[in-house]
Amino acid sequence: MKNKFSNSWIGSKQPRKQRKYLANAPLHIRHKLMSVHLAKDLRKKYGKRNFPVRKGDEVKVMKGEFKNKTGKIAEANYKKLKVLIDGIYKSKKDGTKIRIYFQPSNLLITELNLDDKQRTIALNRKFTEAKKVEKKSETKKEEKKISDKLPSKTNKTKSVKEKK
């Protein structure tokens, strides 16, 4: 097998190939893999189901020992594909607290950190495209309704041909 990352890789049932894909993925693809589901109100507002998580986002834990706990993202580790959340700790036997890494798939974004302008542009990009698609589909439906009401051109041509 090749050692380098392949852009043309579509997928495999074999776990070893899936692990290899994740281990060799470059940062721009790891960024997409760090996507987290958006809360329903954010989903309606931005027209997206998920969005890559970033430091400062407010998240809610959906699975595991810390289910339903919320906190801000302290660190998004793209190398490990894990996230650290402020305020969620585990205590060891000697009493020291350690931070816990969470998988992004087990989280839900409740509030986005919109300090970066590029991030707001990325959020609105798909939403405006979706609106454009909706408008196009609406105009096509309206055109179809109008064309159904008008006499069709095919009927006229047949009647002209029949007269000859």
Beta strands 82-91 and 70-77, pairing class = antiparallel
61-79 tens-digit pLDDT: 999 999 999 999 999 999 9
The answer to whether the predicted template modeling score (pTM) of the entire model surpasses 0.75 is no
Mean pLDDT of 121-134: 76
Locate the domains of the chain by residue range.
1-33, 36-113, 114-151
The reported pLDDT for the residue numbered 139 is 76
The top-level CATH class assigned to 36-113 is mainly beta
Which carries the bigger pLDDT value, residue 147 or residue 49? 49
Q: Is the pLDDT of residue 80 over 80?
A: yes
Winning range, highest mean pLDDT, from 1-15, 42-56, 115-129, 139-153: 42-56
The reported pLDDT for the residue numbered 6 is 80
Please give the structure tokens belonging to residue 38: 């958006």
